[in-house]
Amino acid sequence: MGFIDVVMFNPVIVSKRDMYETEEGCLSLDGVRKTTRYQEIEVEYYDFNWKKKRQRLSGWTAQICQHEIDHLSGKII
């Protein structure tokens, strides 16, 4: 599990499992900060052709996706 389509429009996390604490950096901030993420998530989104899709992600890919979805909500770490 892990490959994400090149573009996700309007992504929404529809399920999540196995919460853990980690530290992340961000190009918007200096240094790293503690945050909470989920090891496994399922994301619903529209692809480049505006077709609704759903994808399960885990590990590092899930963490990155959660980080970027936070940005869409105006959240930084």
Please give the Cα distance from 40 to 42 (Å, whole number).
Answer: 7
Respond yes or no: is residue 68 known to be catalytic: yes
Please give the Cα distance from 42 to 17 (Å, whole number).
Answer: 9
- The residue whose two tokens read 């573009």 is 7
Q: Is 19 left (phi over 0), alpha (psi -120 to 50) or beta?
A: beta
**From the candidates 23, 40, 42, 68, which is the catalytic residue?**
68
Would you please indicate which residues are annotated as catalytic (active-site) residues? 68
